[in-house]
Structure 1
Amino acid sequence: MLWVNAMINGPEVPPISGNAPKQLCIILHGYGADGFNLIDLARIIGQEFPDMQFIAPNAPHPFEMGDEGHQWFSLYERSDESYYQGVLSAEKHLNEFLDYQLKRFNLAEENLIVMGFSQGCMTAVHTMLRREKACALVVGFSGRMLGSMDQIKSSLKSKPTICLIHGKEDEVVMFEYFNEAKSKLKDCGVECNHLAVDRLGHSIDYQGLKFAVKHIRQAI
């Protein structure tokens, strides 16, 4: 594949049907990980959607803690405004990637699912609310919604359905951010389906995946 402008890229799983893709699912990893960290979700979800193409791009920046990973934006300066400015930068990379992949597979936004974990969730929710056309669904695991209500509302361009899943025992992105995100989405008039998972930390479990699959099926 020809990548333009040093575009982000990562592992892919084609439709198990062997047909041309009818849907596209983009999976965004968390802080310090890479696309291979989550691409196995495609092998699980793909059993339910045989015509779905999956891509898990590596985030655009090397992991700032020095390991062999990637990050969507820096967490070095621990402030909400710094995080917001970071996700604004990540949005540009993700939008270029999404536009390219939709054109590559000749698919429309209504055929697009964007899924993210932790920092990938933050990037997915932020970006997809600011695209001109709504995608079919955003699925966010263990993340939060960055920006003040003024910042979010002033840049809101589309209202895709959003599915949020969060462990009640999350020790990395605290559970309170799950409730905050629900409240922000409600104030924006964005439909939000949500699941709080008992006895789950900063992770994705079968219950959360089952919930996600249910809403993907409804969306497409």
Structure 2
Amino acid sequence: MKKLRVMSLELKVKDILRKLFTFNFSLLTSKRGFTLIEILLIIIVVSIAIPTLLIMVGQEAKFGVDAEIRVTATNVAQQLLEEIKAKCFDETSVSGTTCIQTAAASTTLGPEAGETALSLYDDVDDFNDLAPASLGTTPCTDTVTVNGIGFTRQAVACYVNPGNLNRCVDTAPVAGSCNRTIASGSQTDYKNITVTVTAPSDSGGGSVTLTTVMTNY
């Protein structure tokens, strides 16, 4: 796709140059020379056209890179979201072949003691901390490098009510960690999971956010 975009840009530039210099080419094929006025006119046209063309080329290149980075960020976010969705609804869910519905969901959102690697996470809200090697400390994000670009990943899982699946039930932060607690009895059968992936500032700094809702089943 990138190759086709570059070819299209080259054709566009060639077409513009052809239109700009048609007059000059006709002069070259004639049997008379250039007058001073014609030479000055050519210099003026070229001095205006070349910077404009360079700006156009630069903008096209930037748009192409930005689009590619956004696609990569979306893929990174989708991959993390699918990994989270493969886990149980809650720490108290009985896991066997499948996760079984729990009657007493946890009041703490975040990884539990001993879960010091993403591979050890067993429920969706464990991913509130994506830096499990330093469990109990911040930051709660991690970085994934794709094609030499480091994308920052963040995941937030919270309880939501069925009447408003986009608003988290109020929680309180646990000091010095990525975990959050909820008042006993405020748990619901729904958890909103939001994944945000951000590109570094020197690569545009744009972000992509994906959201889904998991149910207690």
Class of the TM-score when normalised by the shorter of the 2 chains: under 0.3
Query: Relative to total residues, which structure has the larger strand share, 1 or 2?
Result: 2
* Bigger-Rg structure (1/2): 2
Larger helix percent: 2
TM-score scaled by length of structure 2: 0.28
